[in-house]
Amino acid sequence: MRRAQWGSRRPPWWPETEPWPPRDRVVHSRAGRARFFRRVALLAIVMLVAGISGVLALVWLAATRSGIVSPTTGGAAALLFGGGLIGALAALLIFRGIVRGVGRPLRDVMDAADRVAEGDYSVRVRGFGPPPIAGLARAFNTMAGRLEQHDRQRRELMADVAHELRTPLTVIQGKLEGLLDNVYPRDDGQLTELLEEAHVMSRLIEDLRTLALSDAGALKLQKEPTDLCALARDAVRSLTAEAAARGVALDAECPTGEHQLTVDPVRIREVLTNLLSNALRHTPAGGSVLVHVAAVADGGVQLEVRDTGAGMTPGEVERVFDRFHKGSQSRGAGLGLSIARSLLVAHGGEIRATSAVGSGTTMTVTLPRDEEIAD
């Protein structure tokens, strides 16, 4: 029943101070478990027999004291003893069925727990027996399923990180080797290309750090009263040159008055800049990108980034916030929207995407009122 996936290779989560695989521990655990169930069954049988014997003794005593039978009446005593013996055997059979109905599913759950401890997250338990025991099996299956999903996501994350880091590292290594071998001239142009690749790696590492802090609940926000209209206009101004170069109209639309919330302005601007950059990349020349800021009924603020790009299919919309998920025209690492969602969740807000092929995309950000996000 050992897991073939890990074999003799130590899982990454297994403590370095403990041997792998833990064969002795599993064998001793199962042997101790068998002894435990035998002792419980033996104790229950002894208690059952003692209880039946006590009941028979009380019945016999009551019958003799009331004169129903004589203490010396052998036939009555034999009849009473036979009836008690039949009752005891029936009770033992019923008890055996109860023990099997409870003990077997518990044993299956314990065996499955050993396999999970060895790294086999694919194990599942068949739910049967009394409702509480069947509920335990269902809860175990849910736990194992989540562990299996997290393990798969961790593997995919490591593979994606390695892939994203490999490209700039390969470029840097190749350029440096070319410079040392005099293949490339040692001028500012070559150094600039190396610096750009270093910036790519730096951004990726910073993005991964932000995601890690968010997952751990350790992302620190420097909140202060912020006018979101002014923040949106500032984000638009920072991308005006890029929009002009692409031939895309970029603007911010805010109603009269301020829309002020207590947020981290640096993080919220990061979210807006990311959404605007994505919209510009996916909007052809002659199109437009608009940021619309409006108040919502509960006192919060809603920001919409609308573009007139090619749009997305329903399947792409479902995965748009997944880590390392990239569209066909994306050149980034696929972390921007995932980070945006993490930053908004840290503020108590949310983000959703609506899109249709040929009709553009709208990213809707909702931030709650100050009372809901106060420290």
Which amino acid, 37?
F
Amino acid 177: pLDDT: 87
Predicted local distance difference test score (pLDDT) of residue 24: 47
Q: Supply the pLDDT for residue 304.
A: 92
Backbone angles phi, psi at 97, to 5 degrees: -65, -40
User: Could you give the domains of the chain?
Assistant: 23-151 (no CATH), 224-373 (3.30.565.10)
Measured distance CA(235)–CA(291) in Å, rounded: 10
Share of the chain above pLDDT 70, in %: 66
Q: Is the peptide bond before 21 cis (omega within 30 degrees of 0)?
A: yes
Burial class (CB in 10 A: 0-12, 13-18, 19+), 245: exposed
Instruction: Check pLDDT > 50 for residue 235.
Output: yes
Taking only the tens place, the pLDDT of each residue in 292-336 is: 998 887 778 899 999 998 888 888 888 888 776 666 555 556 677
Which of the four pLDDT bands, split at 50, 70 and 90, describes residue 81? low
pLDDT score at 248: 92
Using alpha carbons, list the distances in angstroms from residue 212 to 153, 206, 217, 219, 333. Answer: 14, 10, 9, 9, 16
Distance CA 64, CA 340 (A): 86
Give residue 286's Cα distance to chain centre: 41
Q: Are strands 224-227 and 361-367 parallel, antiparallel or unpaired?
A: unpaired
pLDDT at 290: 92
Structure confidence at residue 3 as a pLDDT band (50, 70, 90): very low
Nearest 5°: phi and psi at 289?
-130, 130
pLDDT at 375 over 50: no
pLDDT at 98: 62
301-307/361-367 β-pairing: antiparallel
> According to the model, what pLDDT value does residue 339 have?
83
Q: pLDDT band at residue 372, thresholds of 50, 70 and 90?
A: very low
In this model, does residue 6 exceed pLDDT 60? Answer: no
Instruction: State the pLDDT at residue 90.
Output: 62
Q: What percent of the chain has pLDDT over 90?
A: 11
* Average pLDDT across the chain, whole number: 76
Please state, in angstroms and rounded to a whole number, the distance separating the CA atoms of residues 161 and 329: 19
Q: What is the 3-state secondary structure (H, E, C) of the chain?
A: CCCCCCCCCCCCCCCCCCCCCCHHHHHHHHHHHHHHHHHHHHHHHHHHHHHHHHHHHHHHHHHHHHCCCCCCCHHHHHHHHHHHHHHHHHHHHHHHHHHHHHHHHHHHHHHHHHHHHCCCCCCCCCCCCCHHHHHHHHHHHHHHHHHHHHHHHHHHHHHHHHHHHHHHHHHHHHHHHHHHCCCCCCCHHHHHHHHHHHHHHHHHHHHHHHHHHHHCCCCCCCCEEEEHHHHHHHHHHHCHHHHHHHCCEEEEECCCCCCEEEECHHHHHHHHHHHHHHHHHCCCCCCEEEEEEEECCCCCEEEEEEECCCCCCHHHHHHCCCCCCCCCCCCCCCCHHHHHHHHHHHCCCEEEEEECCCCCEEEEEEECCHHHHCC
pLDDT band (50, 70, 90) for residue 138: confident
Structure confidence by residue, pLDDT tens digits, 257-302: 667 888 989 889 989 998 998 889 888 999 999 999 988 877 788 9
What's residue 84's pLDDT? Answer: 58
Please determine, for residue 60, whether its predicted confidence score (pLDDT) is greater than 60: yes
In this prediction, residue 338 carries a pLDDT of 83
Q: Is the pLDDT of residue 122 over 90?
A: no
Q: Which of 300, 331, 310, 305 minimizes the C-alpha distance to 236? A: 305
When pLDDT is averaged across residues 141-164 and rounded to a whole number, the result is 79
Q: pLDDT tens digits, residue range 158-213? A: 777 777 778 788 888 888 888 888 888 888 888 888 888 888 788 778 877 877 77
- Report the alpha-carbon distance of residue 235 to residue 230 in Å, rounded: 9
More confident residue, 170 or 91: 170
